[in-house]
Structure 1
Amino acid sequence: MAKTKLVLIGFLLSSYFVLAQKGYQLIEDLHYYSMSTQATDAYLKERCKLDVYFPKDTTNVPTIVWFHGGGLEFGSKHIPEGLLKKGVIVVAVNYRLHPKVKNPVYIEDAAAAVAWVVKNIKRYNGDASKVFVSGHSAGGYLASMIALDKHYLAKYQVDADSLAGIIPFSGHTITHFTIRKERGIEGTQPIVDAFAPLYHVRKNAPPFLLITGNRELELLGRYEENAYFYRMMKIVEHPDIELMELDGYAHDMVYPAIPLLLNFVKKQRN
């Protein structure tokens, strides 16, 4: 009984709970907005936190910022199992969700989190010049938006072009369907406006790896959106973009895509 109590007490420690895992530590629930900003919004204070999973004894490590999916309406920060103990830092981010907030709050939170990483990752053995941004579905959409529309990160004096790479997993390149829903637009009506990564196609964006499931199994049009974005980036002469379609996999294609993400990180480091 005493042993069980100790385990429970361990899990009920403060939000800065540190977990050792064979050379790694996990620090949970770090706020990425300032204390003064947190004081203005209880939901922001509750939700806008991130976890940092990092190797204890290695420095200048590349970092993968991971945004969870869930249609901008649900989901929670987590570190994909395939990224554990892979020689990289992983930062898992929570952001505010619809219907408690509306666009562009989701994108603003994503930018604030990435800016926090760029400015603070050295404390966790990372290198600010090796920050990669990824995520699945809505998370992939957020990764693309903050990398392509530079004004979100510029608010924090971070140049989006300094990011080492962007790896959206099955992310929208048109305006997100939840943002369209907020305007009363059906999910089958595509829109390309300032809230679409496609709207911000440009040559000098960071390197991109686009990954989707099989075009016949994916959410409607998701592969084709990414294929069009890929083509337009090639037309503007972006020098480093790839598109990969995972045969046999539908929208839930995170696990088989993780090795592609890690290979991309390794390639960009060389």
Structure 2
Amino acid sequence: MKKILLSSLLLFFVTIITAQKTEYTTVTNIPYYSETIAKTDSYIKERCVLDIYYPKNIKGFTTVIWFHGGGLTSGNKELPEGLKDKGFCVVSVNYRLSPKVKAEKCIEDAAAAVAWTFKNIASYGGDNSLILVSGHSAGAFLTLMVGLEKKWLKTYEIDANSIAGLIPLSPQTITHFEIRKERGIPETQPIVDEFAPLYHVRADAPPLLLITGDREKEMLGRYEENAYMARMMKIAGHTQTTLYELQGFGHNMTEPAFPIVVQEIKRITALKKK
């Protein structure tokens, strides 16, 4: 009798857990520029699309916008395994690539995708006060540029401070090497100008979590760039900047970084919902 009762209880709890498991749905290749703009530029029509992976039948969910890496010259939108099935929405973005366009256009596209999300995520059940921006490498550079230099989102009448959090993984914080290449500047020559996140440090920016690989394994001083970024943000008066260095991992450090990313997303969500 006790064994039967125990089995029945176990089956009951398994049924409850299964019933409560969140289901997700994906909508792909949504244009984030207007139809009018897309009609005038075939490359925008081809590249400027995003996918939404979101929890079904849940209202007020958090959204993370994810920008892929690839040096601003390659790569495609992706849904990282480390961000799936975590209770929040992931918006995966494609953007135009250099040298087919100037690298500045990549930033314009990133801003357009973020603006689209702010204006449309509520129709899928999301809360537009709970939108974070993240990405790896080139995508992390775009994350910082859109989140720190307010002019990009101001075009769409959105304050960059409306972003709930910035989580760039191994970003360049100096001027991106593809932009320097366009100008004939060697990639070993650091430049800090309006196309450098470092140029836009400010006290009132959204919470910032910087994550890099090991300083001895990263590319071209990437850890040191981020360490300087963290220091300058703090000197500027920003009180919510954190830097993690993942020992033993090089530039491709997304897999060990994702648990930290998810933890930060949940931390910010909890604070916002208090």
Task: Tell me if TM exceeds 0.5.
Answer: yes
Deviation at 1:57, TM superposition (A): 1.4
Distance 1:58 1:22, change over 3 A: closer
Separation in structure 1 between the aligned mates of residue 239 and residue 123 of structure 2, nearest angstrom: 32
Q: What does the per-residue CA deviation read over 1:167-211, in whole Å, with 9 as the maximum and x for residues that have no partner?
A: 000000000000100001110000000000000010011100000
Separation in structure 2 between the aligned mates of residue 33 and residue 168 of structure 1, nearest angstrom: 24
Which residue is equivalent to 1:193? 193
Separation in structure 2 between the aligned mates of residue 127 and residue 203 of structure 1, nearest angstrom: 25
Which residue is equivalent to 1:101? 101
What letter is aligned with 1:215?
R
Larger Rg: 2
Which residue is equivalent to 2:15? none
TM-score of the two chains, using structure 1 as the length reference: 0.91
Count the aligned residue pairs.
250
Give secondary structure in 1 for the equivalent of 2:141. helix
Which residue is equivalent to 1:18? none
Which residue is equivalent to 1:130? 130
Which residue is equivalent to 2:155? 155
Separation in structure 2 between the aligned mates of residue 37 and residue 152 of structure 1, nearest angstrom: 17
CA contact (8 A) 2:112 2:153 kept: yes
Separation in structure 2 between the aligned mates of residue 27 and residue 144 of structure 1, nearest angstrom: 26
CA contact (8 A) 2:72 2:103 kept: no
The percentage of counterpart residues that share the same residue type is 57
Q: What does the per-residue CA deviation read over 1:118-156, in whole Å, with 9 as the maximum and x for residues that have no partner?
A: 110011211100000000000000000001110000000
Separation in structure 1 between the aligned mates of residue 258 and residue 63 of structure 2, nearest angstrom: 14
How does 1:62-77 map onto structure 2 within 5 Å?
A: 62-77=62-77
Separation in structure 2 between the aligned mates of residue 108 and residue 164 of structure 1, nearest angstrom: 20
Question: Does 2:55 align with 1:55?
Answer: yes
Give secondary structure in 2 for the equivalent of 1:166. strand
Give secondary structure in 1 for the equivalent of 2:40. coil
Question: Does 2:193 align with 1:227?
Answer: no
Give secondary structure in 2 for the equivalent of 1:62. strand
Which residue is equivalent to 2:168? 168
Separation in structure 1 between the aligned mates of residue 159 and residue 40 of structure 2, nearest angstrom: 27
Separation in structure 1 between the aligned mates of residue 29 and residue 177 of structure 2, nearest angstrom: 29
Separation in structure 2 between the aligned mates of residue 231 and residue 28 of structure 1, nearest angstrom: 39
Separation in structure 2 between the aligned mates of residue 248 and residue 27 of structure 1, nearest angstrom: 37
Deviation at 1:243, TM superposition (A): 0.1
Structure 2: gaps of 5 or more residues: 1-20
Which residue is equivalent to 2:182? 182
The structure where helix makes up a greater share of residues is 2
Separation in structure 1 between the aligned mates of residue 147 and residue 109 of structure 2, nearest angstrom: 13
Which residue is equivalent to 1:146? 146
Separation in structure 1 between the aligned mates of residue 266 and residue 92 of structure 2, nearest angstrom: 20
Give secondary structure in 2 for the equivalent of 1:50. strand
Separation in structure 1 between the aligned mates of residue 138 and residue 77 of structure 2, nearest angstrom: 13
Separation in structure 2 between the aligned mates of residue 180 and residue 236 of structure 1, nearest angstrom: 26
Q: What does the per-residue CA deviation read over 1:214-256, in whole Å, with 9 as the maximum and x for residues that have no partner?
A: 0000011100000000000000110211000001100000011
Separation in structure 2 between the aligned mates of residue 162 and residue 83 of structure 1, nearest angstrom: 22
Q: CA RMSD in A?
A: 1.0
Which residue is equivalent to 1:29? 29
Which residue is equivalent to 1:88? 88
TM-score of the two chains, using structure 2 as the length reference: 0.90
Give secondary structure in 2 for the equivalent of 1:147. helix
List 4+ stretches of structure 1 deviating above 6 A.
none
Separation in structure 1 between the aligned mates of residue 22 and residue 241 of structure 2, nearest angstrom: 35
Which residue is equivalent to 1:257? 257
What letter is aligned with 1:61?
F
What letter is aligned with 1:52?
I
Give secondary structure in 2 for the equivalent of 1:39. helix
Which residue is equivalent to 2:119? 119
What letter is aligned with 2:246?
L
Question: Does 2:217 align with 1:217?
Answer: yes
Deviation at 1:103, TM superposition (A): 2.8
